[in-house]
Amino acid sequence: MAKAKIGKKVTDIKLAATGEQELKISDFKDKNIVLYFYPKDSTPGCTREGQDFRDNIAKFRRASTEILGVSRDSVKSHENFKTKQAFPFDLLSDKEEKLCTQFDVIKEKNMYGKKVMGIERSTFLIDKKGVLQQEWRKVKVDGHVDEVLAAVKELNKK
């Protein structure tokens, strides 16, 4: 499968999602998509990042943009996380790492002195035609959502 590249159309991959759905990029016609990859449900950084997207959802929706969170956690875990945090957007379960591989977010990490493979916190902005426009890798949570929102507004001016 082709890796996602800026300026190229993203391959449509269907994944299990919250709300007993299966979703893919092409399901969101006429909307930009912010696809954010995070390591694990209900961990401090991932919770804060999701809350930041949640707290700014009205601004993203006014900018014709849908938010989708992605991790390797199960749909059941996602449902609990989404409910507990009142996320108004869906979470995709990528247990087989199909989307993770396409966006090249599985990286070697150091956890308590051990090397493990895990998701590197990353965000991708896909336009209304399904073309990857921007990417953020090695994301730091503080201020990230504001940066993404600014990029969405800039994209909509084009």
Please confirm, yes or no, whether 46 is among the known catalytic residues. Answer: yes
Walk across the sheet containing 21-23 and list its strands: 21-23, 15-17, 90-93, 65-71, 32-37, 122-126, 132-136
Cα–Cα distance, 14 to 70 (Å, whole number): 12
Strand partners, 65: 32
Strand partners, 46: none
For residue 21, the one-letter residue type is Q
What's the gap between Cα 84 and its chain centre? 18
Cα–Cα distance, 70 to 55 (Å, whole number): 18
Q: Report, as residue numbers or ranges, the catalytic residues.
A: 46
